[in-house]
Amino acid sequence: MFSCKFGRLISGLCIPKAAPMCGMSPTGFSWSAVCQRRTLRLQRTQKNPEPCHLSLRQSSHATVDPDEVRRFQLLSSKWWDEQGEFAALHAMNDLRVPLIRDNLLNMHPKNHPGRPLSGLKILDVGCGGGLLTEPLGRLGASVLGIDPVEDSISTAQVHASYDPELRGRLRYQACTLEELSAEAEEAGRFDAVVASEVVEHLADLETFAFCCNHMLKPGGSLFITTINKTNLSYALGIVVAEQLLRIVPNGTHDWEKFISPVELERLLESNGFSVQTVQGMLYNPLSGAWSWTNSTAINYALRAVKVRDDVQPEPTDGTEEEESHRTGTHS
């Protein structure tokens, strides 16, 4: 039932209609009220720059947000319920697995029928229960999945143990990205780093970008899927999904942690990456399927390539980052 309501709300927001544009939609949803609330939040952020998440990212040097860890700890046993809280992530594999496979094959053309990614090493950051780690392993890659939630790693290990085909291809480790980056034997050995639906939950994106660079071989690929920071993502991701229809628990997402493609590209390029592609993604709650779209207003996928490894983390006074935060936020 909620899927039907959600679909009607998406239609009301995405398709121009003469009557609802200036006031209330037929569902009672006030788009203008959402915009006003978002504007007030931005004004408060600009008047009080110290609490801004971007400033915290600069100073914390820890990618993990303890509140996010606690939240996912409660969901750690539900990763492989394809009709549960992670249903959309299961469906997203239809887009993200081919995205990773095809781009890696373009850069590493090999002839391994049935195992096209054989010989490649992939790091899956924030792997959760292994929803993306396993299909990459089945394509022949050697995959290391990391997550700070130990129970999620246990869930991933148990599930992978049921498939003999994955034996020897997957490894899981309960740790943060910065902890792994500090291990000399792991640095600079991966052909690709994947962070799918992760960056919107992190506390320090500067450290994240620096560590991703550190883990990759020269020319290695970084794949990210995340949520844009726009009016529409606030309306659908926060107001509709959490507060109105309660499709996901209230507090699952913090809109202040969402990041625009422009801001993310700027961050990555300052940390030794060259962004190659940015593509919009759209989820249909009625069919439960994802599709590619030209619009990046809500979800998007980004692919970048490591072009240098001489990056050093540089502390800032927050002024430039705050200006980037304002200019990178658009609808």
Tell whether 197 is in a known binding site.
Answer: yes
Q: Give the contacts of 232 (CB within 8 A, at least 6 positions apart).
A: 13, 14, 297, 298, 331
- Extract the tokens encoding 181: 């980056």
200: annotated binding-site residue?
yes
The H or E element spanning position 137 is helix 133-138
Annotated ligand binding at 147? The verdict is yes
Residue 154 annotated in ligand binding: no
181 is in an annotated binding site: no
Instruction: Say if residues 268 and 222 touch (Cβ distance below 8 Å).
Output: yes
Contact status, residue 150 vs residue 108, Cβ threshold 8 Å:
no
96 is in an annotated binding site: yes
Strands (E), 141-272: 142-147, 170-174, 190-196, 216-227
Q: How far is CA 253 from CA 79, 104, 142, 228, 229, in A?
A: 18, 31, 31, 12, 12
Phi, psi for 9 (deg, rounded to 5)? -65, -40
Q: Which tokens go with 75?
A: 């969901």
Give CA–CA dist 279/226, Å, rounded.
Answer: 11
Binding residues for Mg(2+): 197, 200-201
Please give the annotated binding residues for S-adenosyl-L-methionine, written as ranges.
Answer: 96, 126, 147, 196
List binding-site positions: 96, 126, 147, 196-197, 200-201
